[in-house]
């Protein structure tokens, strides 16, 4: 699917023509530079590599500088590959928000906010013990049994337990593009998008 790299700006609300007020997210999308075109003959697969968000020369390795130089581009902070056939794209081309139009449905991927080590009630929506009766005093948010003892005498894979929550790659499908602001390289999509403000995201058609 063709797509672009962007940045989450924040959330707001919009009134539809029907008068309904809905939550939406503002995304800065592009401009992205084509830094490499991968082909089946050379790389074994077809893809287009895009770069986004310029950064200082002092922060870039010499190997990366050479890579950007081939594309006649400034050093870029974020690089993503899209396994899609962009129509007639060549090295060094700039792609912007005009790839999308109002009414399109897009998939937005990003890294969700990290929540640290969390228990089963928060992480997996366990109910916990509703009423602290019958002498129990310290089992309110405990996970309970994690398996039988003598047989199978092991804990099954995928058992829901306490652990690291968030800070994972999340994709949200079918978000409607409500508005495209070409002059500011921004789009407004319906609903929420994973990650904190100013985090990098990818938007695919």
Assign 3-class secondary structure to 86-122.
Answer: CCCCCCCCEECHHHCCCCCEEEEEEECCCCEEECHHH
pLDDT number for residue 90: 84
How is the chain split into domains, by residue range? 3-114+169-204, 115-127+140-165
User: Do 200 and 13 touch, CB atoms closer than 8 A?
Assistant: no
Q: Which of 56, 104, 87, 96 is nearest to 186 (CA)?
A: 96
84 CB contacts (<8 Å, ≥6 apart)?
Answer: 1, 2, 3, 47, 48, 204
State the fold for domain 3-114+169-204: Elongation Factor Tu (Ef-tu); domain 3 (2.40.30)
Residue 170, both tokens: 């999340």
Provide the pairing of β-strand 47-54 with 3-15: unpaired
More confident residue, 198 or 43: 198
Q: What's the mean pLDDT in 122-131? A: 86
Given a cut of 90, whether residue 25 has pLDDT beyond it is yes
* Exposure of 147 in the CB half-sphere (CA atoms within 13 A): 13
User: Do 47 and 82 touch, CB atoms closer than 8 A?
Assistant: yes
Q: What's the mean pLDDT in 103-119? A: 95
Residue 59 to residue 63: CA distance in whole angstroms: 12
Q: What is the DSSP string of 22-45?
A: EEEEEEEE--EEEEEEE-HHHHSS
Residue 37 to residue 89: CA distance in whole angstroms: 8
Quick: pLDDT tens for 153-190.
999 999 999 999 999 999 999 999 999 999 999 999 99
Residue 162, both tokens: 């306490």
Quick: pLDDT tens for 59-97.
999 999 999 988 888 999 999 999 876 667 888 888 899
């Amino acid at each position: 699917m063709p797509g672009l790299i962007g940045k989450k700006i924040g959330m707001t609300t919009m009134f539809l023509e029907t008068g309904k007020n809905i939550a939406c997210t503002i995304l800065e999308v592009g401009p992205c530079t084509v830094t490499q075109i991968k082909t089946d003959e050379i790389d074994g697969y077809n893809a287009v590599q895009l770069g986004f968000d310029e950064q200082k020369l002092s922060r870039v390795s010499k190997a990366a500088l050479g890579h950007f130089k081939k594309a006649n581009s400034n050093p870029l902070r974020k690089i993503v590959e899209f396994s899609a056939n962009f129509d007639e794209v060549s090295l060094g081309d700039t792609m912007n928000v005009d790839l999308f139009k109002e009414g399109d449905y897009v998939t937005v991927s990003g890294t969700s906010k990290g929540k640290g080590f969390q228990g089963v009630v928060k992480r997996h929506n366990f109910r916990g013990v509703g009423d602290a009766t019958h002498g129990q005093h310290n089992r309110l948010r405990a996970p309970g049994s994690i398996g039988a003892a003598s047989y199978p005498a092991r804990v099954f894979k995928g058992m829901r337990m306490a652990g690291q929550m968030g800070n994972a790659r999340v994709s949200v499908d079918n978000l409607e593009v409500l508005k495209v602001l070409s002059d500011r390289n921004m789009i407004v999509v319906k609903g929420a998008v994973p990650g904190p403000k100013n985090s990098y995201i990818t938007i695919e058609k």
